[in-house]
Homo-oligomer: A and B are copies of this chain.
């Protein structure tokens, strides 16, 4: 099976998982609609795909991974809704569609974002395997890992420094913090959470964490390049915004060539960390390659 076919199969699985755990209930219909509008606005589903793959890599409990996978995509989606708000990045286009506040208004977009973050936690909590003696602790540790990655010492902290650094000079330390937290935390979490759920050993968790850090960092660098060289039609969001907003990006600090070299170097690091897994690490290796070469 080609990588593209393989990836399609896996992202189809995520769509099915998201449908199963999507926000529903007696809540006002407009809120449910706003939450689901962004949750089903496309996207590569790379975070939940990585989580499911890691659980399979370690022969872990796939059914228990499903609510965790749904949760991580909900968290990612909420962060995009809030990032796009007028008070933040003020973006009108995301994944080729009008952003949440453009369609539903600012108040509803804030609440839909809050709702999705909360729903992520609810989904994980609602599926705690209370009586599973083998996997209960792993499930709870995976849940904690995801929550912590999303918080003030994770993604939110990165987002804050990203905003605070706008219009400033080329600060390498701040750039590193932003990359590790704003994007890195939520790309690392599914891999570590998948390993934790499956009861992976310390050395294995270390290997998968190295892979995760490399792929997470590379992901952001490619994003930065796409904002300079990408085509809006493919990328699905406004292009050239980083420079216009005075964002602290890798190309801004180190230049475009150095960014390309860094992406290649991170790819090597990712591949190397997968060696202990042999043939079983094939999909993750190809994913690192795919993410480094993507045009959207």
Chain A residues close to B by CB (< 8 Å)? 23, 25-28, 30-32, 35, 78, 82, 85, 87-88, 105-108, 110-111, 113-115, 117-119, 121-122, 125-126, 128, 130, 137, 140, 143-144, 147-148, 150-153, 156-157, 159-161, 163-164
17 residue pairs A–B, Cβ–Cβ below 8 Å: A26-B157, A28-B157, A28-B160, A28-B164, A32-B152, A35-B152, A82-B111, A87-B87, A87-B106, A107-B163, A111-B156, A111-B160, A118-B150, A121-B151, A125-B140, A128-B140, A128-B144
C-alpha spacing A107/B161, complex, angstroms? 12
Instruction: Please pick, from B27, B137, B150, the residue contacting A156 in the complex, using a CB distance under 8 A.
Output: B27
Given A82-B110, A128-B140, A152 contacting B30 (CB threshold 8 A): no
Q: Are A87 and B107 in contact (CB under 8 A)?
A: yes
A72 to chain B, nearest CB (A): 13
Give this chain's copy count: 2
Q: Are A156 and B115 in contact (CB under 8 A)?
A: yes
C-alpha spacing A137/B122, complex, angstroms? 16
A4 to chain B, nearest CB (A): 35
C-alpha spacing A151/B23, complex, angstroms? 10
Given A110-B110, A148-B122, A160 contacting B31 (CB threshold 8 A): yes
Q: Are B147 and A125 in contact (CB under 8 A)?
A: yes
Q: Are B31 and A152 in contact (CB under 8 A)?
A: yes
A121 to chain B, nearest CB (A): 5
Select the residue from A121, A128, A137, A157 with max chain B CB neighbours within 10 A: A121
Given A27-B156, A30-B160, A119-B152, A85 contacting B110 (CB threshold 8 A): yes
Instruction: Please pick, from B25, B143, B152, B159, the residue contacting A25 in the complex, using a CB distance under 8 A.
Output: B152
C-alpha spacing A130/B139, complex, angstroms? 11
Instruction: Please pick, from B30, B108, B117, B164, the residue contacting A117 in the complex, using a CB distance under 8 A.
Output: B117
Given A28-B157, A28-B160, A114-B156, A140 contacting B147 (CB threshold 8 A): no
A137 to chain B, nearest CB (A): 6
Given A122-B151, A147-B122, A30 contacting B164 (CB threshold 8 A): yes
C-alpha spacing A32/B23, complex, angstroms? 30
In the complex, chain B residues whose CB is within 8 Å of the CB of A107: 85, 87-88, 163
Select the residue from A25, A115, A160, A161 with max chain B CB neighbours within 10 A: A160
C-alpha spacing A104/B108, complex, angstroms? 22
In the A-B complex, the 9 residue pairs with the closest CB atoms:
A27-B157, A87-B106, A25-B153, A125-B144, A118-B151, A115-B152, A31-B160, A27-B152, A28-B160
Q: Are B160 and A147 in contact (CB under 8 A)?
A: no
